[in-house]
Structure 1
Amino acid sequence: MSSPQPQSRLLPPVILMVSSPTATPLADQSPLPIQSNPPAKPPRDPHPRIKHIRLVLKISDLSCQGARNLISTVNVITTVEEAVGSVFRWLYTAESTVPGTRSVTLVLRSMGGIAYTTGKDIDDDHKEIHFSTDYIAKISPERMKDEILGVICHEMVHCFQFDGCHTSPSGLTEGIADWVRLRSGLSPPSWKKSADGNWDDGYEHTGYFLEYLEQRFGEGSVRRINEMLGKTSYEEEIFWKDLFGHRVTELWKDYGRMLKEDSATDDIVIVENGESLDGDASSLTPPESVKTDDTGAGEGVV
């Protein structure tokens, strides 16, 4: 009997680069905030682009505690590959148009904050995720693995998501990243659903609102939001109506009501142009152009 042929890897191998400490300028940092998670669904057929993304690891100081903790806690190659897979699983299908990101470098170094993602000055298609080893060193042992996976998952979304040519509210951008983290089963126990404040306050606050949209309007709703941001600039008055047939303020009102009520059939009040419109929760249904088929793929949104 012939020996089995080795299986090809889904992603190209991660390249390990260990360098001496350098004075890297800090970019605007994206601090991540530290329920039960929805079960992660099995991946769809992988997008053909995923095989061509180059993944690189840079560690400025192998002797620091944060770097030691990460390397001893997770398999870095698997962690980075699975983070890329999560982004493509939840935001794209095999037929989707995706951003032109060609490489992602995970940089572990001493810095303030938690993590941030940036593009290289000479070519924005090459992304860098900077992850603070000082922060990693302070994570409790019981939270170490899930927090590392969650932060990398969140930041990986920023490497591949659309943002309406830089017109999307930052709260929506961060909310989509935390929604992917939520859907990947990596939400911290401290996260809570809340309709206080504004819908675009970002992070898990917006992430849970996006999960409400996913449940209300069908599987693939957040994917359609991301796809729309890849095709047009963000104009709030028309963006949400084109996708879901309602203003985002109406959707946020309904979300708040759903958090308070035990039944989805309880009455809600939608405020529009200063006037209260009585209705029930079932009135917030998607227009015909964006109803989903059995696969969850959106129709009529181009």
Structure 2
Amino acid sequence: MKKVALVDTAHWHVPLYLDALEKSGVEIVGVSDPTETTGPALARKFKTTCFASCEELLAHERPELAFVFGRHIDMPRTANLLLDRGIPFAMEKPCGIRAADVQQLAEKAAHKQAFVAIPFIFRLSDTMKVIQGGEAPVRLDHASFRFVAGPPSRYQRAGNPWMLERDIAGGGPLINVGVHMVDMFRTLSGSKIVAVSAFATSHINKLSIEDFITVTLQCASGAIGTIECGYTFPSTPGQQREFTFSVRAGNRFLRSVDKGIEVIRDGANGIEHEFVPAEFEADLYYSDFVQHVLKAQQDDSVAVADFRDAAAVLELVEAAYRSASEAGRTIHLSH
């Protein structure tokens, strides 16, 4: 039975991991929670101990794998601690608030040949599988993704008010939910992103983070990606967010429709239409991620994403925030 630790559990995604962890039969050997908000209840649930910090947990236990959450600003310190102890782990995105810090983690993890997994869950999604369509590689011409989540108040209700502070969270919807879209475009394009521009607004909630942001990504191949994300959707229990997309890739045009994806193809006999059922509820893919991590770590295989991916995405996020702060000036990237 694999010994697993849950680190810095005051994070709204933790509940999305629990069902898969319970079903997997792992042993939770410790929980850490500096805020003492969620940790004690989780410790009771798993009949284990709640510690005040990751350091204290590791002083008493030697987990074989850790799932790491916590505040964005604290993530690099926790990651360095686990890398130094040689403990494999999965860490919630964005892994830090500065690309340079995450790049340092990527280099350290590579040097140590450490197992690190990052939940860029759209890589496991129906959306990614349908767009890829069994073709390798997919050559995108253009793509547009729109992910608008519920209002900032949901983070206060979840006990994570730090998510609304730019100095601690690193930003708002772009660094939180937009990273998934950035990663998806980056992965599908197969080309270096060479320029970024963005506009953002914070006039709705008047917080230090943005309410809504639109980002344009230009690839060396000529492909263009646009991403819109925000905390402006009036969430209800049955409908928490808006997620839509459209993509052109070669002779295929794909777009999200109700309960699936429409694929419009320029075929030999004219235009062909196909409907492919797809699950757009992103939260459901966290269970798939848990299963993926447990199997990949056991098989000594490659994780779906790692610190190199997180650093590359965060570099683009930083460029977008810089552009937005400079009236949409195009930021040219050198690699």
TM-score of Structure 1 vs Structure 2, range by shorter chain: under 0.3
How does the TM-score come out when normalised to structure 1? 0.25
How does the TM-score come out when normalised to structure 2? 0.23
Higher relative contact order (CA 8 A, sep 6+): 2
